[in-house]
Structure 1
Amino acid sequence: MAQVQEKQNPAKGSRKRARNKGFHLDMTPMVDLASLLMTFFMLTTTFARFQTLEINMPTAQGPDTPVAGKNALNIVLDEADKVYYFFGYPGDAPEVRQTDLSTTGLRQVLLGEQVKRNPNMVVLVKATKSSRFKNLVDALDELKITDTRKYALVELREEDKALLATR
């Protein structure tokens, strides 16, 4: 508590002067209050949570569901943030095109007329050994942003490697 210290009674007969009153502020209650508030807010605060993307993966026992060639969009992630895409399967000799992971690249492919007008379109995401994990995360983010409902993470096959080599 704040205390005001007063001097003792001056001797009789002396003149009254302006007194210098000493002032002492006791900070103990303030420190107690600050520590109680800090403890309260630390215990009741919700800490930042990681943002996660939920992917429903098929079980190992489940059958492989074949996708028709006209309903397949293959996205191949490669080194240096390159993205190759083609419609159909490598056996159909499709035209392989190159893009990137920017908003004017992969996002425009996923928002394109050929993808949106086909409700059965399945996006098959494949990654080469030289691609980075960041590219896969960026591709999955683009699928989420464009509200693509059907997509799968697929291993890169030899036919895909051969198709990319002939490009």
Structure 2
Amino acid sequence: MKNLPQKVRSKKLSSRVDLTAMVSVSFLLIIFFMVTIELRKSRLIEYPIYNEGCGPIVECGKPDENRTMTILLDKDNKIITYSGLLFVPIEAPKEVAFGRNGIRKELFRRNNNVLAYSANLGKPGRGVEVVIKPSKKSNYGNLVDILDEIKITGIKSYLIVDQFSPEEEKLLASN
């Protein structure tokens, strides 16, 4: 008999898959999303309701309008701001522009005034409370720009409201 060529047998590889790296990546992603969700908590204006000790004072449970600034957003990048209440404003309604010399300058100025006012009352560190009211005609980009300006100026209390008073609607229509 002649020597027949022997068949070459291929080496069988292990069919096991090592998932160690996949588990590590999964845990890193879980931790990442948990941290980002925790950092993204919204900040709300908390108005305390005073039920004790008010007596006959009608104004007792209301927020301090000296600390309130309202920003109305309308179409064509229009911003109207006023401080206090619209029917008795601390600062009359005026139109301002976006940017460093417009709304940002107003926010810095108003926040500094309110910080000084709060310090005189014996409550230092209580800055301005901004109420943002985007109209249905305003665009989403303007709202994002206002939120960016609030973040830049370091204002901690803001509120986004989609309801306008009849006086505010007239104000937007007139300008």
The one-letter code of the counterpart of 2:22 is T
Structure 2 gap segments, 5+ residues each:
1-9, 51-60, 119-127
- Residue identity (%): 22
What's the CA shift for 1:159? 0.5
* Number of residue pairs the alignment of both structures matches: 141
Aligned partners of 2:43 and 2:157 also within 8 Å: no
Change (3 A) 1:110 1:44: same
What's the CA shift for 1:108? 2.4
| TM-score for the superposition, normalised by structure 1 | 0.59
Tell me the alpha carbon deviations over residues 42-95 of structure 1, each in whole angstroms, 9 at most, x when there is no partner.
333225535624133659xx6872433x43321111224332212333324724
Name the one with the larger helix percent.
2
Would you say 1:46 and 2:29 are equivalent positions?
yes
The one-letter code of the counterpart of 1:152 is L
- Partner of 2:114, secondary structure, is coil
What's the CA shift for 1:147? 2.0
Tell me the alpha carbon deviations over residues 101-151 of structure 1, each in whole angstroms, 9 at most, x when there is no partner.
x44443222112x43122253322112111234433442343233221333
Q: Between Structure 1 and Structure 2, whose CA radius of gyration is higher?
A: 1
Structure 1 gap segments, 5+ residues each:
1-23
What's the CA shift for 1:164? 2.5
| TM-score for the superposition, normalised by structure 2 | 0.57
What is the alpha-carbon root mean square deviation over aligned residues?
3.7
The one-letter code of the counterpart of 2:170 is A
Give the match for residue 163 of structure 1: 171
Tell me the alpha carbon deviations over residues 13-47 of structure 1, each in whole angstroms, 9 at most, x when there is no partner.
xxxxxxxxxxx9x7947x967x4343243333225
Could you tell me how far apart the structure 2 residues matched to 1:134 and 1:27 are? 60
